[in-house]
């Protein structure tokens, strides 16, 4: 079969995943590989993109091209470090810039090149580099330059090897997607043929075959990933899937009702969670207790299904890539996110992770293809430990109820394309005056943020009327609240959640 996909070699750039996403947005299947992969594993791809990276090709131990890559004869696009690694491997020269170049730059293009088809001769691009190519390898010509970067884009025409010093994958590069599209369709002759519907069909057949007549168990959290996973597995094997929903009592109002269109085994463990949380105020302690209790309850329930041989999980592509990143270990743990990782080793089950090649936006689209309601697949992210990490101080059932009511009002009143919006219950009491009498009650903080991926976020400029309505409704409808405040902190330095 003619190869229909593109391989992306990761040299450790922050934007490698973005390259993969851009290709998929253009309907070409893309797969990321660490840079020490053997060229043989890349044979089934039609083209190769080399990512940027933090190293300098001139330093000791810097990563080089996968061995045998150039002998594959595939079209190649090197981006930033990728271009420099190519140049070095082919006998060119890479040197440190006199000034590191970060940010926007205007480049002059040779628009007769296929790479720049449909573009004007001047383009705003995003640069982020400390080294650059100072002498081209033999057979290469220059396609673009800036006053400080003489080889901003290069080509070896007959070998179909291209390189750009800037980053076409980031949105700051105007028309960057056009450049990637030109590489995929005009240079590598790929077709925009990747469709989630095909993925769905093959995945259902694969699950059927792999599972046979065994049972699959999985824990549903109510989030998009686990719900889509469950629906997909359910469509493949029907009653053989056992979905367990551990009701920890820390969910949002209406949550259980919303997911009950999936066949669920609901385990009521609310008292157990609340008892284990008595007196606990430290956020990490809360997470650990909730994670541990969750696993205990789930394991006890799972023992009722001795025929279960598989554990379904909603692992996504970014999680897979992060655990095989090109360089070093995981970054600093700011918060230990709770999930059900660790379960399969203890339970001796095989993992079934049908979403492990998909990005979040693809998962949402797949959810729609599977017939899940639009409103549901577009749900905002919700942390595994639930409302517990939005209740500062001790988590008690009555405080949880108060927060859940306020949170529902926030969700009802805010509409728009925000990443997350929710209420937080602060550990601060303040004085109010209600019906001419003094009151002394709790404080709700409203948080609404805009973000691309949750890694960084800006607080949203909500219209005054919306804020006023939220404040008014919370004060009137949630008894015990005497003050409502709005959080105007961005991430960094704050985090999205308060704990």
**Contacting residues toward ligand XMP, per CB under 6 A:** 287, 334-335, 337-339, 381, 383-385, 420, 454, 491, 495-497
- Number of C-alpha atoms within 13 angstroms, CB side, residue 51? 30
Cα-based angle 239, 241, 245 (whole degrees, multiple of 5): 115
Of 45, 129, 151, 167, the active-site residue reads: 167
**14 burial type by CB count under 10 A (0-12 exposed, 13-18 middle, 19+ buried):** middle
Rounded to a whole number of angstroms, the minimum distance from the CB of residue 455 to ligand XMP is 8
Q: Tell me, rounded to whole angstroms, the distance of Cα 1 from its chain centroid.
A: 31
> And the tokens for 355?
């979403």
Tokens of 174: 């105007």
What is the smallest separation between the CB atom of 256 and ligand XMP, expressed in angstroms? 18
**Is 284 among the residues known to form the active site?**
no
Measured distance CA(140)–CA(203) in Å, rounded: 43
Residue closer to ligand XMP, measured from CB, 113 or 315: 315
For residue 212, what are its two tokens?
């046979």
Instruction: To the nearest 10°, report the CA torsion of 314, 318, 324, 329.
Output: -110
- Does the annotation count 465 as an active-site position? no
When the beta carbons of 131 and 225 are compared against ligand XMP, the nearer one is 225
Helix (H, G, I), strand (E, B) or coil at 461: coil
Structure tokens at 122: 């001047």
Closer to ligand XMP by Cβ: residue 155 or 218: 218
Residue 33 tokens, joined: 């590989």
For ligand XMP, the closer CB: 111 or 489: 489
State the Cα angle at 68 between 62 and 74, rounded to 5°. 110
Indicate the residue among 164 and 496 with the shorter CB distance to ligand XMP: 496
CB closer to ligand XMP out of 30 and 420: 420
The minimum distance between CB 485 and ligand XMP, in angstroms, equals 18
Rounded to whole angstroms, how far apart are CA atoms 235 and 365?
16
188: part of which helix (H) or strand (E)? none
Rounded to a whole number of angstroms, the minimum distance from the CB of residue 252 to ligand XMP is: 12
CA distance readout (Å), 39 to 5, 29, 188, 317: 15, 18, 18, 22
How do beta strands 122-135 and 93-109 pair?
A: antiparallel
Catalytic residue among 23, 129, 151, 169: 169
Collapsing DSSP states into helix, strand and coil, what is residue 100? strand
State the minimum distance, in angstroms, from the CB of residue 316 to ligand XMP. 12
Q: What angle do CA 262, 265, 270 make, to 5 degrees?
A: 115
Residue 257 makes CB contacts below 8 A (sequence gap 6+) with: none
Please tell me what DSSP assigns to residue 380.
P
Q: C-beta of 84: minimal distance to ligand XMP in Å?
A: 33
Q: How far is the CB of 212 from ligand XMP (least distance, A)?
A: 32
Is 334 or 437 the residue whose CB approaches ligand XMP more closely? Answer: 334
Which residue is listed with tokens 């805009």?
450
* Nearer to ligand XMP among residue 376 and residue 418 (C-beta): 418
Residue 167: active-site member: yes
Q: Minimum CB separation from ligand XMP for residue 20, in Å?
A: 21
Name which of 143 and 219 has its Cβ closer to ligand XMP.
219
The distance of closest approach from Cβ of residue 294 to ligand XMP in the complex, given in angstroms and rounded to an integer, is 11
Measuring CA to CA, which residue among 182, 195, 123 is closest to residue 152?
A: 123
* Phi, psi for residue 416 in degrees, rounded to 5: 135, 175
The three-state DSSP-derived secondary structure of 204-242 is: HHHHHHHHCCCEEEEECCCCHHHHHHHHHHHHHHHHHEE
What's the rounded Cα separation, in Å, for the pair 250 and 165? Answer: 49
**Choice among 23, 35, 80, 448 that is catalytic:** 80
Q: Which residues are catalytic?
A: 80, 167, 169
């Amino acid at each position: 079969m003619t190869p229909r996909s593109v391989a992306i070699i990761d040299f450790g750039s922050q934007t490698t995943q973005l390259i993969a996403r851009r290709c998929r947005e253009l309907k070409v299947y893309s797969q990321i590989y660490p840079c020490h992969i053997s060229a043989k594993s890349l044979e089934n791809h039609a083209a190769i993109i080399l990512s940027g990276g933090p190293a300098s090709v001139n330093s000791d131990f810097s990563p080089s091209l996968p061995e045998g890559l150039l002998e594959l004869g595939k079209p190649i696009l090197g981006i930033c470090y990728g271009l420099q690694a190519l140049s070095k491997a082919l006998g060119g020269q890479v040197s440190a810039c006199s000034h590191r170049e970060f940010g926007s730059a205007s480049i002059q293009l040779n628009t007769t090149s296929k790479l720049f088809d449909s573009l004007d001769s001047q383009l705003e691009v995003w640069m982020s580099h400390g080294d650059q190519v100072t002498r081209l390898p033999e057979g290469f010509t220059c396609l673009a330059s800036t006053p400080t970067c003489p080889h901003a884009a290069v080509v070896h025409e007959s070998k179909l090897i291209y390189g750009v010093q800037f980053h076409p994958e980031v949105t700051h590069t105007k028309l960057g997607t056009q450049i990637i599209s030109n590489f995929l369709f005009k240079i590598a002759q790929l077709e925009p043929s990747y469709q989630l519907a095909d993925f769905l069909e093959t995945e259902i057949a694969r699950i059927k075959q792999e599972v046979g007549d065994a049972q699959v168990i999985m824990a549903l959290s109510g989030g998009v990933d686990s719900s889509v996973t469950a629906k997909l597995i359910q469509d493949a094997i029907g009653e053989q899937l056992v979905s367990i929903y551990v009701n920890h009592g820390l969910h949002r109002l209406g949550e259980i009702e919303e997911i009950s269109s999936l066949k669920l085994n609901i385990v009521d463990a609310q008292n157990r969670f609340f008892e284990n949380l008595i007196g606990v105020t430290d956020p990490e302690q809360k997470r650990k207790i909730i994670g541990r209790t969750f696993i205990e309850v789930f394991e006890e329930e799972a023992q009722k299904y001795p025929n279960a041989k598989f554990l379904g999980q909603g692992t996504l592509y970014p999680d897979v890539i992060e655990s095989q990143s090109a360089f070093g270990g995981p970054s600093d743990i700011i918060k230990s996110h709770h999930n059900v990782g660790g379960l399969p080793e203890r339970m001796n089950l095989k993992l079934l992770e049908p979403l492990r090649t998909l990005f979040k936006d693809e998962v949402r689209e797949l959810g729609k293809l599977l017939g899940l309601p639009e409103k549901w697949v577009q749900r905002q992210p919700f942390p595994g430990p639930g409302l517990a990490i939005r209740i500062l101080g001790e988590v008690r059932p009555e405080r949880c109820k108060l927060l859940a009511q306020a949170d529902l009002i926030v969700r009802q009143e805010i509409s728009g394309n925000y990443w997350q919006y929710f209420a937080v219950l602060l550990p601060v009491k303040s004085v109010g005056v209600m019906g001419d009498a003094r009151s002394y009650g709790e404080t709700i903080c409203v948080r609404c943020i805009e973000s691309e991926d949750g890694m960084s976020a800006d607080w949203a400029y909500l219209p005054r009327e919306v804020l006023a309505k939220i404040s008014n409704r919370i004060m009137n409808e949630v008894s015990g609240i005497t003050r409502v405040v709005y959080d105007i902190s961005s991430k960094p330095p704050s985090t999205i959640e308060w704990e």
